[in-house]
């Protein structure tokens, strides 16, 4: 168990500032730098002291709890003013489309959290064959408890990345149409990243858009894919090439669902946690180095802190760049190489986080070859991924040709130019750029494909 003193003592994230003058580079690059003079404690925020956006317009009236010192979750603490066991609420600030991320233990047994975000009287829960036996009944009870007017249907999909395709997506539409759902219905995604992505895309397309809620049950989905509105399915030629940006009404993270998560899936989610530290939150990365054993041991306090801090990082980025025009792309560190691995060896052979981990090592290697980082960062990345029991090289069947074929259709290609997320400068800094020496990319691919 990690000692409480090992958690950061700062009361907020170290924010970054983006300006067109300071961040636009030749070749369309975007970089992160820390906002100077803004690393001290933030003012306390309570239910009566709301964060405000430009022009003084209040955000959605929710209690926002920013990063604080550990322990971040105390399941024995009194219930909050709403009578809920919610430990943390992180707000994704998108104006009138803002929404809360609820984080806490036992939240699937909090009917009011779900019911306040349901539109109409009809609900379709989208889940899979693994999650349904564990949590479908509990979610159905939460949706209908004290509200007999709510009618809940469900569609149970096969489990796995290889089913994230158009044929499986059609099963959701079939169920919705057969059940005669209308525009006042609500879709609920109950599962990991695959379910969240497919349910979100179905909600975006059904009747040209219906309400939906995210209930992520894997660490990967809790720290990354459920937040920010990215939805989609895979194509045989590339991952997530068909999709839409479509925001949920809320994200409900019950940390108890991690108790049933296999160790391999847990490690896969940690790959995305590590990413946040590398690209924008060096203090968080240092915390991970000290507490990786606690995360792998499923220490509830450590996991809750990692989820909260990851969500805060992602929410901040999404609020600044919802449609991934530049800044948000930096959240894809390691994903260009990683998606190529998933496509090249067949969807579902490696978990997403495993491919991202190997892809992160490749991106770090390329950054080092460009002279943008020193070898101490390379060593720290290798060390933490090995601690997390994640791959540090692509599978042997990946060839240079397979990488290049997949990367040619990557979503970050613009005007024929492959743009990459690379580390540059001290830990916690990165760039999204097409302005790099192609020789470094070739050398990295050669080094990892001829091992």
Which domains, and CATH codes, for the chain? 1-33+262-451 (1.20.1090.10), 61-261 (3.40.50.1970)
Number of neighbours of residue 327 by Cβ within 10 angstroms: 20
User: Average pLDDT for residues 422-442, to the nearest whole number?
Assistant: 96
Q: Is the pLDDT of residue 55 over 60?
A: no
Is 339 catalytic? The answer is: yes
Is 419 catalytic? The answer is: no
pTM of the entire structure? 0.82
Is 230 catalytic? The answer is: yes
* Catalytic residue, candidates 110, 272, 322, 342: 272
Q: Name the residue among 193, 208, 187, 133 with its Cα closest to residue 163.
A: 193
* Catalytic residue, candidates 16, 63, 175, 328: 328
* Catalytic residue, candidates 57, 208, 438, 451: 208
Q: What secondary structure letter does DSSP report for 134?
A: I
Res 374: pLDDT: 96
User: Average pLDDT for residues 182-193, to the nearest whole number?
Assistant: 98
Is 272 catalytic? The answer is: yes
Strand, helix or coil at 330? Answer: helix
* Catalytic residue, candidates 339, 369, 412, 419: 339
Is 328 catalytic? The answer is: yes
Q: Is the pLDDT of residue 70 over 60?
A: no
Q: Name the residue among 141, 108, 156 with its Cα closest to residue 259.
A: 108
* Catalytic residue, candidates 16, 164, 175, 230: 230
Backbone angles phi, psi at 121, to 5 degrees: -115, 0
Q: Is the pLDDT of residue 451 over 70?
A: no
Question: What per-residue string of b and e applies to 337-376 under the rule 16 or more CB within 10 Å gives b?
Answer: bbbbbbbbbebbebbbbbbbbbbbbbbbbbbbbbebbeee
Res 339: pLDDT: 94
DSSP codes joined into one string, 193-228: HHHHHHHHHHHHHGGG--EEEEEE-SHHIIIIITSS
Is 332 catalytic? The answer is: yes
* Catalytic residue, candidates 314, 369, 402, 412: 314
* Catalytic residue, candidates 16, 239, 308, 352: 352
Is 335 catalytic? The answer is: yes
Q: What secondary structure letter does DSSP report for 433?
A: E
Mean pLDDT score of the chain: 84
Is 234 catalytic? The answer is: no
Strand, helix or coil at 87? Answer: coil
* Catalytic residue, candidates 161, 265, 312, 324: 324
CA 401/CA 27 separation, integer angstroms: 25
Q: How confident is the model at residue 34 (pLDDT cuts 50, 70, 90)?
A: very low
Q: Which residue has the tokens 């909260």?
A: 308
């Amino acid at each position: 168990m990690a000692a409480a003193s090992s958690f950061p003592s700062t009361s907020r994230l170290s924010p970054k500032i983006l300006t067109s003058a300071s961040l636009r580079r030749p070749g369309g690059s975007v970089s992160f730098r820390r906002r100077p003079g803004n690393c001290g404690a933030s003012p306390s925020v309570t239910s009566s002291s709301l964060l405000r956006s430009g022009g003084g317009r209040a955000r959605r009236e929710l209690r926002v709890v920013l990063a604080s010192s550990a322990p971040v979750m105390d399941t024995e603490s009194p219930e909050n003013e709403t009578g809920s066991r919610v430990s943390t609420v992180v707000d994704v600030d998108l104006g009138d489309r803002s929404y809360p991320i609820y984080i806490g233990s036992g939240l699937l047994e909090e009917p009011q959290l779900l019911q306040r975000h349901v539109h109409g009287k009809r609900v379709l829960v989208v889940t899979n064959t693994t999650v349904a036996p564990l949590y479908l009944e509990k979610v159905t009870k939460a949706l209908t408890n004290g509200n007999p007017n709510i009618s809940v249907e469900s569609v149970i999909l096969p489990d796995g990345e290889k089913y994230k395709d158009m044929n499986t997506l059609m099963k959701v539409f079939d169920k919705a149409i057969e059940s005669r759902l209308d525009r006042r219905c609500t879709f609920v995604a109950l599962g990991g990243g695959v379910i969240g992505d497919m349910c979100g895309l179905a909600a975006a397309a059904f009747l040209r858009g219906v309400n939906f809620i995210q209930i992520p049950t894997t660490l990967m989905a809790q720290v990354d894919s459920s937040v920010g509105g990215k939805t989609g399915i895979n194509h045989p030629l590339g991952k997530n090439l068909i999709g839409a940006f479509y925001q949920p009404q809320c994200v409900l993270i019950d940390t108890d669902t991690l108790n049933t998560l296999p160790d391999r899936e847990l490690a896969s989610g940690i790959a995305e946690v590590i990413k946040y530290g590398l690209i924008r939150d060096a203090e968080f990365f240092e915390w991970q180095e000290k507490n990786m054993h606690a995360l792998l041991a499923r220490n509830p306090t450590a996991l809750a802190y990692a989820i909260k801090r990851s969500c805060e990082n992602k929410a901040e980025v999404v609020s600044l760049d919802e449609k991934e025009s530049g800044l948000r792309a930096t959240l894809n560190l390691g994903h260009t190489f990683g998606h190529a691995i998933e496509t090249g060896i067949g969807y579902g052979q490696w978990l997403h986080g495993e491919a991202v981990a190997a892809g992160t090592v490749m991106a770090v290697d390329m950054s080092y070859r460009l002279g943008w980082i020193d070898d101490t960062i390379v060593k720290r990345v290798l060390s933490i991924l090995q601690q997390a029991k994640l791959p540090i090289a692509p599978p042997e069947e990946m060839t240079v040709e397979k990488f290049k074929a997949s990367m040619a259709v990557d979503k970050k290609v613009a005007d024929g130019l492959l743009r990459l997320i690379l580390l540059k400068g001290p830990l916690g800094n990165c760039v999204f750029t097409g302005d790099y020496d192609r020789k470094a990319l070739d050398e990295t691919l050669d080094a990892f494909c001829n091992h």
